[in-house]
Structure 1
Amino acid sequence: MDTDISHFQSIPWVSALLRDPEFTNRAIPSRTVKETTEDAFYARTLNSPETIKACLMQYRIPESSSSASSGSNTTSSTPNVTELRTFFTLGSDMNGYPGTLHGGMVATLLDECTGLLLMARGDVADNTTRSDNNLHSVPVTAYLNTKFRRPVPTPGTIVVYTKLVEVSESKKWKIQADVLDHKGRVLATGESLFVRTKAKI
């Protein structure tokens, strides 16, 4: 995570957001290579200078949190978290049109960031406890409604703002996410519903 922090601190508009005392940094769990091959898409396939060179997640510190200080939180969950922002520096090997991120990859980023919010909250069990036998209890994407507002330029850096909209009995989560550029323009939006697979959609 330190390498990613250094990278983003060198980008003025991101560096300003990293100094926001209302947010704290956290490593992205899906960026770590695991023996089970879980998260291999983000940890391996999309982990290169030509795909996603760097990424970093921050969550807004809940008012009820006793750890209301900036810094890094790499392991523990924070159940009251309702808002994330995730920074990505994108290369050109995920392009659809020249200099433009493929629309499927835009949706992938929205899906990842909405899932990261559940991980930050602790709604997804730690990966060390998951196996093929208990995946029925893990929240999965039931739908992701995506709207493309503007092209996402590459190479370049974007931020995805993610916010919890509604929770139902720890079985269903509605989440909103927006992709923004360095000028604060909305490039894409996503509305997702996550469910535990035993829950009715």
Structure 2
Amino acid sequence: MSAKNQISETLKSHLYYFESQGVKALRAPNIVPFIPPSRQDAGQSPADKNMFTSQDTLFRYSLDSEKTIPHYIGFYEDPFCHSTTTFPHLPFIITSLSLVLELRGGVHGFNATVHGGLTCAIIDEAMGTLLYQNDLLNREAKARGLIPPDAKGFSAAGTARMDVKYRRPIQTPQTVVVTATLDRVENRKMLMRVVLRDKDGQECATCDGMFMSFPKGKI
């Protein structure tokens, strides 16, 4: 069964909600929707003991309510949908990923608009999720024999820099789509470009960000 068919009831309910809000990207062909790691069951054991587990309590607990961010999913284009697919950006299997969030009044900062600090947190969340999902997909590609078993994988990494530009205020309630795209990899540095748009497709914020992997044994 493909990843796209393995959809939980929780994910189905969030998909239905966002589709009812007119998020057309979710209906595109070969799209794989998923529950972001920060909203997965904290007690869920990883399939591989070496896999990373999210410890993101901000989005899992503090921001998971009817007044803050009740609906939240991610999606990317299925990298395994074509038999001739190659992966030129290893260890990255996908180079772009989007998160969809419903923002409500409990995330206001000023004048009924989303707090600027939360906008930064959502952007950071998108970059971290791009790395997390790639770790999963890299392991899957190895298990399926699509890349060599000794191909480079991922190590733990953290945010090193974020240059955020605020383009317009985000009023609530609002469905936003934040897309993180890999720019390039330079040794331990992973540079990304992030764009956050409102439900009408208008840019609300952009970011040039960088994650840096930790040296082995230095976490």
Cα separation, partners in 2 of 1:50 and 1:125, compared to 1, 3 Å: farther
Provide structure 2 residue ranges, at least 5 long, that are not aligned to the other structure.
Answer: 1-10, 44-52, 83-90, 140-154
| SS in structure 2 at match of 1:114 | helix
Q: Does 1:162 align with 2:187?
A: no
Paired residue for 1:85? Answer: 98
Deviation at 1:197, TM superposition (A): 2.5
Q: Which amino acid aligns with 1:122?
A: D
Cα separation, partners in 2 of 1:37 and 1:187, compared to 1, 3 Å: closer
| SS in structure 2 at match of 1:41 | helix
Cα separation, partners in 2 of 1:193 and 1:100, compared to 1, 3 Å: same
Describe the superposition over 1:140-184 as per-residue Cα deviations: whole angstroms up to 9, x where unpaired: 000111000000111111111111101234x22101111101221
What is the TM-score when the length of structure 1 is the normalising length?
A: 0.79
| SS in structure 1 at match of 2:206 | strand
Cα pair 1:32 1:39 within 8 Å, conserved: no
Q: Which amino acid aligns with 1:10?
A: S
Q: Does 1:173 align with 2:190?
A: yes
Paired residue for 2:3? Answer: none
Q: Single out whichever of 78-87 and 109-118 deviates more from structure 2.
A: 78-87
Q: Which amino acid aligns with 2:34?
A: R
Deviation at 1:4, TM superposition (A): 1.1
Cα separation, partners in 2 of 1:145 and 1:44, compared to 1, 3 Å: same
Paired residue for 1:40? Answer: 57
In structure 2, C-alpha distance between the alignment counterparts of 1:37 and 1:198, rounded to whole Å: 19
1:55-74 superposed matches below 5 A: 55-62=72-79, 65=80, 67-68=81-82
Deviation at 1:83, TM superposition (A): 0.7
Cα pair 1:141 1:195 within 8 Å, conserved: yes
Structure number with larger C-alpha Rg: 2
Deviation at 1:124, TM superposition (A): 11
Q: Which amino acid aligns with 1:191?
A: D
Q: Single out whichever of 117-126 and 99-108 deviates more from structure 2.
A: 117-126
Q: Which runs of 4+ in 1 moved over 4 A?
A: 123-126
Cα separation, partners in 2 of 1:41 and 1:55, compared to 1, 3 Å: same
Q: Does 1:109 align with 2:122?
A: yes
| SS in structure 2 at match of 1:165 | strand
What is the TM-score when the length of structure 2 is the normalising length?
A: 0.73
Cα pair 2:182 2:193 within 8 Å, conserved: yes
Q: Which amino acid aligns with 1:84?
A: L
Paired residue for 2:203? Answer: 186
Number of aligned residues = 174
Q: Which amino acid aligns with 1:151?
A: P
1:128-143 superposed matches below 5 A: 137-143=155-161
Deviation at 1:37, TM superposition (A): 8.3
Describe the superposition over 1:48-101 as per-residue Cα deviations: whole angstroms up to 9, x where unpaired: 111111111011233xx2x35xxxxxxxxx941001111100111111112200
Provide structure 1 residue ranges, at least 5 long, that are not aligned to the other structure.
Answer: 69-77, 127-136
Paired residue for 1:134? Answer: none
Cα pair 1:33 1:40 within 8 Å, conserved: no
Cα pair 1:26 1:56 within 8 Å, conserved: yes
Cα pair 2:130 2:180 within 8 Å, conserved: yes
Cα pair 2:93 2:137 within 8 Å, conserved: no
Cα pair 1:28 1:56 within 8 Å, conserved: yes
In structure 1, C-alpha distance between the alignment counterparts of 2:162 and 2:56, rounded to whole Å: 19
Cα separation, partners in 2 of 1:197 and 1:43, compared to 1, 3 Å: same
